[in-house]
């Protein structure tokens, strides 16, 4: 949960996260290492949101996804503006890891045959088939080229499992803005997925 009242988002812990990110940007390697206890619960929630929509036989677990993402973030040099940017980047990295994992498994098993999927089916189904995830990933990448924030909204809401309020906090915008941008992005993505199926 990315909220101001959460364990990682309250006034003191939120300030600690911002301070540690600033110190990390200035080259303090130990500062980034100190982040994990403060952000672990938030990252675990995002990872669990991603994994809740995957096939029950998926070989990645939320904890493994979280740890792999954290290692990639640590290796990237810690150029995160603030806690919102940190969590947004974490969600994007988790999505990329998951999609790369699915692409690799599909290529090994079936040669990578992909089928388009309806947006509502992909987002709201309890289980997303691997090719559905790849179609959504491609569509979100296309949306990000047009409007990056709208793509991040859908990424956090549907891939990351965050609520409207948590997404608003993570992106530093109002709940009303998240509502409007979610509706617009859903329509855009639905149209994109339908066009891909023609």
Interval 72-119: pLDDT, tens = 887 766 678 777 778 888 888 888 888 888 777 777 665 444 444 444
Q: Which two tokens stand for residue 31?
A: 């500062």
pLDDT the model gives residue 14: 64
pLDDT at 180: 93
178 pLDDT tier (thresholds 50, 70, 90): very high
> For residue 99, what pLDDT is reported?
82
CA 129 to each of CA 81, 87, 126, 197: distance values in angstroms, whole numbers, following the listed order = 35, 26, 10, 16
26-68 pLDDT, tens per residue?
888 788 888 888 888 888 888 877 777 666 666 677 788 888 8
β-bridge mates for residue 54, sequence order? 128
Residues 6+ apart with CB under 8 A from 153: 167, 171, 178, 181, 182, 185
pLDDT at 9 over 70: no
Handedness of CA 104, 107, 110, 112 (dihedral sign): positive
Three-class DSSP category at 133: helix
What pLDDT digit, counting tens, does each position of 115-172 carry?
444 444 444 433 345 566 777 788 888 888 989 899 888 888 877 677 888 888 888 8
């Amino acid at each position: 949960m990315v909220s101001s009242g959460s364990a990682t988002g309250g006034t003191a812990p939120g300030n600690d996260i911002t301070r540690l990110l600033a110190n990390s940007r200035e080259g303090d390697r130990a500062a980034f290492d100190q982040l994990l206890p403060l952000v672990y619960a938030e990252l675990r929630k995002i990872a669990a949101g991603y994994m809740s929509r995957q096939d029950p036989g998926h070989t990645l677990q939320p904890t493994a996804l979280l740890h792999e993402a954290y290692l990639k973030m640590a290796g990237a040099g810690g150029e995160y503006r603030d806690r919102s940017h940190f969590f947004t980047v974490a969600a994007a990295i988790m999505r990329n890891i998951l999609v790369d994992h699915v692409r690799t498994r599909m290529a090994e098993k079936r040669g990578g045959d992909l089928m388009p999927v309806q947006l509502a089916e992909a987002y709201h189904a309890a289980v997303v088939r691997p090719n559905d995830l790849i179609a959504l990933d491609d569509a979100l990448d296309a949306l990000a080229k047009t409007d990056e924030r709208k793509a991040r909204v859908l990424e956090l809401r549907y891939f990351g499992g965050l609520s409207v309020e948590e997404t608003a906090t993570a992106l530093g915008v109002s709940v009303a803005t998240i509502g409007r941008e979610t509706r617009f992005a859903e329509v855009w993505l639905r149209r994109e997925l339908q066009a891909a199926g023609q």
